[in-house]
Amino acid sequence: DGQFSWVEIDDRPDFVKYDVKVGVYRKYVTLEDALANHDKTVERAKRFVDNGTTPFYAESVTPGFDDLGCWGWGTGPRKIERGLNAELYVAKWESAVKNQFPMVVIPTWDDWGETTTIEPSLQYGTLYLELTRKYAAAYKGIKPNTASLELPGWIYKIRKTTADKEVHAVLNTASDL
């Protein structure tokens, strides 16, 4: 019965720009505007919780957003800059740690079509998983796990390069652990 934010786009006309490459208008939000919109959303959420409008609020952390390639719903294609070094994701996590709402939501952690992935990629490696581990631990007030985030990728790669049953048995044990 509570609320959570998703992507910080408002409907001001200056957020709508024509994308010449694809010939459509899209809502485009710079990193700075996304951060400011997030701060406004959090302040509004605090008021709603304080005055009983909503029973709780879950703060949302997203790395960015761009649904031009898969747009088909909502009010038009949207893009929110993520920043070159995950600045948007870091700022949202830092807000979540600071505000300590009862829950943090990563609404679309694996949507490659909307560029909201935090999964390992060629472009970012394991950066977003490392940030998630660090800030989720800080949110919970615990020490972060230090296990390698590369292991699942290596297990996948080895499985794809060998048919050796003994190797696969060892990989299965590693996966189970």
Structure tokens at 63: 């790395």
Average pLDDT over residues 7-36: 71
DSSP structure string for 81-95: ---TTSHHHHHHHHH
pLDDT digit string, tens, across residues 59-99 = 989 898 888 777 776 666 778 888 888 999 999 999 999 99
Supply the pTM of this predicted model: 0.80
Beta bridge pairs of residue 16: 27
DSSP H or E segment with residue 59: strand 57-60
Pairing of strands 78-80, 65-66: antiparallel
